Amino acid sequence: MELLKRILYILLYPGLIYCVIGGLILAGIDRKLLARMQKRIGPPILQPFYDFFKLLGKETIVPRNAAKKAFLAAPVIGLISLITVSLFIPVFKFSPFSTYADLIVVIYLLTIPAVALIVGGSASGSPYAGVGISREMVAIISYELPMVVSLLAIAKKVGLALNNGVMTFSLSQIVEYQAQNGPLFTKLSIIPAFIAMLLVIPCKVGSLPFDIAEAEIEICEGPLVEYSGAPLAIFKLNHAIKMLVMTSLFVTLFLSGAGTGILAIDAVIQFILMLVVMFFSITLLKAITARLRVEQTLKFYWTYPTALAILSLILVYFGL
């Protein structure tokens, strides 16, 4: 019975099916909103599904000087790790795979899709992909620092209240704290970390002001340049699921609480909050900005978001 429940979790709700359908719908709403902001009619909300199935029906070409196994395995590895992250993120009080230190597992697993992109790009043997993977590495270095520091601030804040002053890395404890004391973004000391994390999301999912690795106009989508057919479809799917996972993590960290106790209603509330977060951090930013250069991205992330995150950590230590 327990095993059956676990399999259901992995395949159905926070796992495979939810990730694929939810991620693609999220990406479709993003494209529609962006089009409406540019005074266009825009593609239908189901457009990412059409793209996905069309790419499945195309021929898959493996370039002659590509490393075939790594080239074909990279997108699948990214997909698997993203679905695993989704299993660890609690939806209000519902957390199927709660462990003692999920936050660390989540940080590590969230790096794997970016690494998969690097592996796939370098296996394809194209100079455009070479430029793309070096930029992807810069992107990882830039967003990782503010993200980890703001997560530390949250861990300390929750640990002071629930874990005898020791940092806690358990996401279910973070949710429990928010159920007792209200959402974390209302706490004065966490507000800077909230803003920093909001700025980390667009770089993590590779959306416009920070999409240096997949710059479509400059380097023809960078690491994806040699991909076609089914592997490209899975990379596009990864991109959509990354959006889902990052906004879901954000909602759980800052906007969570006790919820209603009924899973279906909680899931719907979580999805609506994710849409709001996606609108402000991804769609709005995409519509009003142009792409930054590589060194501008690094400079931006290591100044303002990092400073905000460290400020938050200091405020937490002062007990605000």
Partner 1 sequence: MFEKLIQKGLEKSAWLYHLNTGSCNGCDIELVSVITPRYDAERFGFKIAGSPRHADIIVVSGPITSQSRDRLIRTLAQVPDPKVVVSLGSCPRSCNVFNGSYCVEGPLDKYTPIDVAIAGCPPKPEAIMAGLVRAVEILKEKRRAMK
Residues that bind partner 1 (CB under 8 A): 31, 35, 38-44, 47, 49-61, 128, 216-217, 219-221, 224-229, 232
Q: What is the rounded distance in angstroms from the CA atom of residue 28 to the CA atom of residue 34?
A: 10
What single DSSP character describes residue 283? I
Tell me the closest approach of the beta carbon of residue 244 to partner 1, in angstroms: 20
Nearer to partner 1, 42 or 183 (CB): 42
Tell me the closest approach of the beta carbon of residue 228 to partner 1, in angstroms: 4
**Cβ neighbours around 290 below 10 Å, total:** 6
For 280, the token pair is: 């402000």
Nearer to partner 1, 55 or 149 (CB): 55
What single DSSP character describes residue 94? B
Tell me the closest approach of the beta carbon of residue 44 to partner 1, in angstroms: 7
Residue type, 42: G
Nearer to partner 1, 56 or 188 (CB): 56
Please report which helix (H) or strand (E) contains residue 214, including its range.
Answer: none
Q: What is the rounded distance in angstroms from the CA atom of residue 117 to the CA atom of residue 226?
A: 12
Tell me the closest approach of the beta carbon of residue 133 to partner 1, in angstroms: 15
Tell me the closest approach of the beta carbon of residue 132 to partner 1, in angstroms: 11
Nearer to partner 1, 66 or 105 (CB): 66
CA 96 to chain centre: 19
CB-based contacts of 9, cutoff 8 Å, min separation 6: 15, 87, 96, 97
Give bridge partners of residue 94 from the DSSP assignment. Answer: 91
Q: 166 — alpha (psi -120 to 50), left (phi > 0) or beta?
A: beta
CB-based contacts of 155, cutoff 8 Å, min separation 6: 103, 167, 168, 169, 174
Tell me the closest approach of the beta carbon of residue 165 to partner 1, in angstroms: 52
Report whether 6 contacts 227 (CB < 8 A).
no
Nearer to partner 1, 47 or 84 (CB): 47
Residue type, 228: S
Tell me the closest approach of the beta carbon of residue 45 to partner 1, in angstroms: 12
Q: What is the rounded distance in angstroms from the CA atom of residue 161 to the CA atom of residue 184?
A: 12
Nearer to partner 1, 44 or 261 (CB): 44
Nearer to partner 1, 156 or 236 (CB): 236
